[in-house]
Amino acid sequence: MKRLIVTINAEKVGHLDQGDSDRMVFCYDQGWLAKPDAYPLSKTLPLRTEPFDGKAARPFFAGVLPEQEPREKIAAILGISANNDFAMLERIGGDCAGAVSLLLEDFPTAPVGEPSLRRLTDQEFIDIVEELPRRPLMAGEANLRLSLAGAQNKLPVVRDKDWIALPMGDLPSSHIIKPEPKGFPGLTTNETFCMKLARFVGLNVPNVELYQAGKTPCIIVERYDRKTTPEGKLLRVHQEDFCQALGFPPERKYQQEGGPLVRDCIALLRDWSSVPVVDIREFIDGLAFNFLIGNADAHGKNFSMLYPPGSRRLAPFYDLVCTLAWPELSIRQAMTIGNCNSINDLMPDHFRLMAKENNLGWPPVRERLVKLCETIHTALADHNFQSQIASNSMTEKVTELVSNRTSVMLKRLALNVNLRIHKGKTVFIATPVTTNPSTFLQPGETFSPLNRFGQPNAKIELPAVSRLFLRLIPSTSIAIKTSKAALDLVQTGGLQPMAASGWFPGRNKYGGFVCCEKDGKITGVSQLFLTGELWGIDAWSIDIDTLKAFAKTNMRFFPSVALEREFASTLTNYLKFANETLHLTPPVRLIAGATDVLGYCMATNTSRFGGNVVDEHIVYEWQVDDLKTDPLVVLRPFFNYFWEQCGLDRPDVKILG
């Protein structure tokens, strides 16, 4: 039986054995367990006297090793099997991610004398960088035992302002060198751009710098899992990535291969972090940032937990790259957000679904998305940020990609969120409180007109169907005294209902209205409240039963140019009425939307068209500063949202005129 001693900063934690079946078994050292400040190597390896078999031990220990092509090359150089985790750890497990070192039994567990550094001349460093694709991690070099997870070639080094050195034996490294792969020209510029952008907008990331090694551009990343004592000694700080902490082996780092889901990651932080509220918030920021920069490769091994003494925290973000800069790379998200696979199809609703699945409030998540989009968009144009970035074609490409993605997401968020008014400017009047944004009527309440004596007349119901709605809310109440006065304004000002067809005027306890009805049910109405608010409801245009009868189909035609015309003509009428009849003083608040609708799109292989649930309630809000504004200017982002949601190109058809 072979044995490796597992240490943290030269202190024995336990031992890892390889049995006859080549399966690893880990057991904590009794001395470590007796320490009052002892902590586990992994969430999946809690402190206990009983050993952990291979199934439990492998995710953590295999998780510190290189992957894919580098691993195969290392195995060939060392003359071992690429699938033999223990043999790989035996040969290169001296300096790993975090604080763990795996040493041979006869290796000293405490430093003897001063550990040696192998300082490199400029030419030696260039030669090593050129050699890395053929000799990953300098495998086989005498007294050099270095390991880093991942599929990209990289090398742990000790970095000083004037020199670079290789850490020999058990000496910890301070930085990681990542040369640019020949197959991905511009990767170093791309990653440096994204990492510096993340830092500029307030995300927690390690310092990075570009470094030219001969003809090969490199990134030098300062290790966040290291700290320097007041005496100048470099110590390791323990860490593990999310796959290790959740018990997923490295070959299952992608969700589609059975790896971690977003909800697994959030559950980990909620259960394991010392400050879960803060770390979950920062993790959501990291997810959003990866989406906004176009990084489809944010898998479970690209997020980590850091274990400084006495705490467990989300580690700084790393490996931030705009993968969309290479069209040949997959756009499938490594971890889906809200069941959306493609990073190019992600909508605010997917983030809202993600928030709901994880018991997170959508308003604060949405607010952080908005803030991050705005901050990134501002940073891209900031001279202080631009001065940190090399100017070349890759920088221009990534800047354009990120700028476009943040702009589009901001527009989409504007369709789903409450209107944000600058403090001290405008406070809009109170509007009816309802449980459904498409109606001012309470559940069970009928729309009851009053006769000329002010008594209830025949009751009219608002059918429980999908509805369109449009509201115009003044910033200052005009205080219409009676519902009869409101009705007079409705009639003299030419107010029209949504879905106008054979309407009649009336009044009720709310004010005056114009209404269309069929068989005692409202099909369309425009209500003037005593406060001056206008509220339109269309319960006909997207009613499923109406459409079945009209078009002999189960589809609800949404979006469509016909519905755009209805919104636009209604808003045109409302703005004119507000200006010429009510004489409202701008700004006014516009709220438009639809409730409980289905959109259509070219969909599955089993049918020509497939219903797409657009949203339970779609709410678009805007501040109108000029009552003579072209309604299409106000509504165009609203219309574009629906076509984008349903994956359709809008027909080149005029809405009005």
Phi, psi (degrees; rounded to nearest 5) at 304: -140, 160
Q: Which amino acid is at 126?
A: I
Distance from C-alpha of 172 to C-alpha of 574, rounded to nearest angstrom: 70
On whether the CB atoms of residues 588 and 627 are closer than 8 A, the answer is yes
DSSP letters, 162-218, are S-EEEEPTTPPPSEEEEEPPTTSTTHHHHHHHHHHHHHHTT-----EEEEEETTEEE
Q: Which amino acid is at 267?
A: A
Helix axes 187-200, 276-293, angle to 10 degrees: 140
Nearest of 635, 630, 633 to residue 620 by alpha carbon: 635
Angle at 569 between CA 564 and CA 571, to 5 degrees: 95
Distance from C-alpha of 226 to C-alpha of 167, rounded to nearest angstrom: 14
> How deeply is 199 buried, as exposed, middle or buried, from its count of CB atoms within 10 A (0-12, 13-18, 19+)?
buried
Could you tell me the CA-to-CA distances from 618 to 59, 137, 437, 466 in Å, in that order? 44, 53, 9, 11
Nearest of 118, 112, 105 to residue 2 by alpha carbon: 105
Spot the catalytic one: 170, 241, 264, 297: 297
Return the beta strands (E) in 519-608 as ranges.
Answer: 521-529, 534-538, 588-602
Could you tell me the CA-to-CA distances from 638 to 416, 595, 600, 633, 641 in Å, in that order? 10, 14, 17, 10, 5
524 - beta bridge partners?
516, 538
Counting every residue written for the chain, the total comes to: 657
Distance from C-alpha of 535 to C-alpha of 524, rounded to nearest angstrom: 11
Q: Are strands 234-236 and 226-228 parallel, antiparallel or unpaired?
A: antiparallel
On whether the CB atoms of residues 441 and 528 are closer than 8 A, the answer is no
Distance from C-alpha of 588 to C-alpha of 574, rounded to nearest angstrom: 11
Phi, psi (degrees; rounded to nearest 5) at 367: -65, -40
Distance from C-alpha of 186 to C-alpha of 191, rounded to nearest angstrom: 9
Phi, psi (degrees; rounded to nearest 5) at 528: -100, 115
Q: Which amino acid is at 234?
A: L
| Residue 216 token pair | 């090969």
- Residue that has been written with the tokens 């979006």 in this structure: 559
Q: How many C-beta atoms lie closer than 10 Å to residue 230's C-beta?
A: 5
On whether the CB atoms of residues 263 and 242 are closer than 8 A, the answer is no
Q: How many C-beta atoms lie closer than 10 Å to residue 380's C-beta?
A: 20
Helix axes 276-293, 262-272, angle to 10 degrees: 150
Q: Is 625 a catalytic residue?
A: no
Distance from C-alpha of 191 to C-alpha of 55, rounded to nearest angstrom: 35
Active site residues per annotation? 297
